[in-house]
Amino acid sequence: MTCLSGGAGKRRVVISGMGAVSAAGVGAEKLWVAARDGIAQIRALVTERPYERRIRIAAQVPDFDPADYIEPELVPYCDPFTRFSIAAADEAMANAGFGRKDIAGPRTGVIIGTGIGGMTTIENGIYRFYNGSGRPDPFSVPRLIPSAAPTTLGMRYSCTGPTFAIGSACSSASQALGVGMQMIRFGLIDRAIVGGTEACVINATICAWEGLRVLTPDRCRPFSKGRNGMTLGEGAAVFIIETLDAAWARGHTPLCEFAGYGTTSDAKDPVRPDVVEVTNAMTLALTDAGMEPRDIDYLNAHGTATHANDIAEAEAIGRVFGDYAARLPVSSTKPVHGHALGASAGLELAIAISALRDQIAPPTINFLEADPRCPIDAIPNVARSVPMRAVMSNSFAFGGINAVLIVRSLEGRGAHGC
């Protein structure tokens, strides 16, 4: 593998802890077990008000009682998307070896991505308004704004550094991670709480996605013949990132090195991906990491199981990896945890990190037959043992916003070199 010294002026960044809330439940390990074992977490749709349209399934977080994770005085201020982020962040902090106030102060940033923000609060407020159901909820505005998640986390851990939300649709979490990594690299901050969160499996959102004709009524089958769309999901994934030197100095062993980030914009179409810029995003991430295509041992694909997206992503993989593309293990885990929009990239990175740790590539479940228009090794249906030192995670959003992350093992690396 190509050795990265970090470049002049750049500090090496590591992921020291992670936490997740998903349709598999609360905990990054629950998410990983479901992905590794190919156990779909897509169930019959449950909504507060009846939903009588075609799509009746979703990957919803089961049995989430905010009182189990959040102080009662804080709960009224938090839309479900913020509640999910708190539970995930608390796990990430503990996993990184930090107490609640250990990273307080101006050298810690908080950057959280979300595609929509407080959609539950928005829908409930509109429903009450048009039904004449009494006075407005005074907590609506602080709950629904996309910045509610990062600001709440900032208050929770007393972080006074740069704090903001990123709203880049399905690339939101990846861009939050990438921006945080770059800020640490160049000394603007020393550590950051980063990730993505989403809670939008509600009537209005499902109806809107039905209108796009991209939701499957039965099974999500990325890269497979017979695929007919994706399934909506929800959840959160949060990561603690810091300099490698800082982690070693406090005696903590990081999960992995955060090696590369690439992002591009198609600037062409609101919904159809552009192969050129998807390719460029992967190439930029490799360049940023100082790596060659053959250094990547596993790729967690965007893999939505929509016709155009899967073909475009497979073609881009071929352009980047050349002859190696046919042998590179690739999978989409969206059939397990659903497409959680602004949280998806975070959930998928958590799975990729676990895959790197356990040297197991999770499968693409529900796979029927290879599609010749997607000539990749999609790891159909059964996980595979794969020697890994570096993995890539792709996210490609509506509006043509592409973001790619690379993480790699620190095994055999010292604090100051390869």
Going from N- to C-terminal start, the domains of the chain cover 13-249, 261-408
- How far is it, in rounded angstroms, from Cα 230 to Cα 337? 11
Same fold, 13-249 and 261-408: yes
69 CB-near residues (< 8 Å, 6+ apart): 26, 83, 86, 87, 90
* The pLDDT value given to residue 132: 82
Strand duo 108-113 + 163-166: pairing: parallel
339 is catalytic: yes
Q: Is the pLDDT of residue 5 over 60?
A: no
How much is the pTM? 0.95
Q: Which of 170, 220, 256, 374 is catalytic?
A: 170
78 is catalytic: no
Pick among 3.40.50.720, 3.40.50.300, 3.90.220.20, 3.40.47.10: CATH of 261-408 = 3.40.47.10
Q: Closest Cα to residue 331, out of 382, 404, 292?
A: 382
| Residue-wise pLDDT tens digits, 295-353 | 999 999 999 999 999 999 999 999 999 999 999 999 999 999 999 999 999 999 999 99
* The pLDDT value given to residue 417: 40
289 CB-near residues (< 8 Å, 6+ apart): 4, 259, 260, 295, 390, 406, 408
307 is catalytic: no
> Where does 23-94 show beta strands of DSSP type E?
25-26, 43-44, 57-58
| Residue-wise pLDDT tens digits, 23-39 | 999 999 999 999 999 99
Q: What is the mean pLDDT of the chain?
A: 95
| Residue-wise pLDDT tens digits, 43-81 | 999 999 999 899 999 999 999 999 999 999 999 999 999
- How far is it, in rounded angstroms, from Cα 298 to Cα 274? 23
Q: Is residue 233 exposed (0-12), middle (13-18) or buried (19+ Cβ within 10 Å)?
A: buried
Q: Which of 159, 200, 220, 302 is catalytic?
A: 302
Pick among 3.20.20.140, 3.90.1200.10, 3.50.50.60, 3.40.47.10: CATH of 13-249 = 3.40.47.10
- How far is it, in rounded angstroms, from Cα 336 to Cα 171? 19
412 CB-near residues (< 8 Å, 6+ apart): 418
Q: Which of 200, 252, 337, 339 is catalytic?
A: 339
Tokens 């590591």, residue located = 14
Report the residue count for the chain.
418
